[in-house]
Structure 1
Amino acid sequence: MTTIEAVGHVEPFTVHFDDLDAMGIVHNARYAVFLERALSNWWGERGHSYAGGRPTTSDVMHAVAEYSISYRTPVRGTGDIGVHFWLESLGDSSAVYRFRIVSADGQTVHAEGRRVNVKLDPRTLRPAPWSDHARSVCQVLLAAPVPAEELAQQG
């Protein structure tokens, strides 16, 4: 994988009227929501979500430790876009996501940024290691996936 488009996942997303500001462009605060929903969908499809008001796995318990975003080209109006995200790195208890909000055809980058999550122990709210299952699932998101042999040695 040599190009940025070849790593991670692009989640199709629809911009709605209530995402727009008074100028008819996506409000700056909505970009974080777009990423949150895209990540929630992706992880939920892999068994990591909330059901009945409770987390389905311990890996759902995490907090955002850092967030940055750069706006490039406004999204003007409603319609389809893509939320492209990947993992830059995965530590013992941290995950560094990179993301881009792109046009539906992927040709225009509307915004790009970085988000750092820290997994928390639900009892102590202190950093806790990601589960082996989460580590395995997220390999497809890593910009440089961990070789299978090394992943087996970690478990």
Structure 2
Amino acid sequence: MTAVAVEYGHTTVVPVHFDDLDALGVLHNARYAVFVERAMISWWAERGVSFAGGRPTSPDAFNVVREYAITFHVPVRGTGEIAVHFWVEKLGTTSADYRFRVTSPDGRILYAEGRRVNIHLDPATMRPSPWSEEGRRLGSELLRR
């Protein structure tokens, strides 16, 4: 994955492979969520928030998706590269409200856009719990100002 400079949030260019396509030769709708997930996970992992050996490397890695919504505009046809631009619209006490756009690498074509809300959980109770100070600091780097 390759990063691209943006005014806010983060953009990663990802490859679309033949097995990502559906019977019509366009990017399968379920793959968009996978690409968004991978772009976000990569960003956080580069900052030490990930999983290693089945365990979180940081308390903030223990979170789940509460909401996911996507609107498709133009199909991605065939293999090549797409860009995933994501940012945090609102960082709550226990939640992060992300927005994302899937575009051509140059940003000229908007294929899809959407929203994803993650909730930080306490591993013992599986109930929402506050992000750590470091998690809030990192998350604020993705805020759209």
Q: TM-score range by the shorter chain?
A: over 0.9
Match of 1:14 in 2: 15
Other structure's SS at 2:29 match: coil
Tell me how far 1:94 sits from its aligned partner.
0.4
What TM-score do you get using the length of structure 1 for normalisation? 0.88
Shift of 1:139: 1.9
RMSD value, Cα? 0.8
Distance (whole Å) between structure 2 residues aligned to residue 140 and residue 12 of structure 1: 19
> Percent identity, aligned pairs only?
58
Cα distance in 2 between the residues matched to 1:63 and 1:98: 16
Larger Rg: 1
Report how many aligned residue pairs link the two structures. Answer: 140
Structure 2 distance, partners of 1:110, 1:53, is 34
Deviation at 1:138, TM superposition (A): 1.9
Structure 1 residue 96: Cα displacement? 0.2
Q: Does 1:70 align with 2:71?
A: yes
1:9-88 pair list within 5 angstroms: 9-88=10-89
Structure 2 CA distance for aligned equivalents of residues 139 and 126 of structure 1: 23
- Contact map agreement 2:91 2:140 (CA 8 A) in 1: no
List structure 1 runs of 4+ shifted beyond 4 angstroms: none
Alpha-carbon distance in structure 2 between the residues aligned to 1:138 and 1:115: 14
Q: The residue matched to 2:140 in structure 1 has which SS? A: helix
- Between stretches 64-73 and 132-141, larger displacement belongs to 132-141
Which protein is richer in helix relative to its size? 1
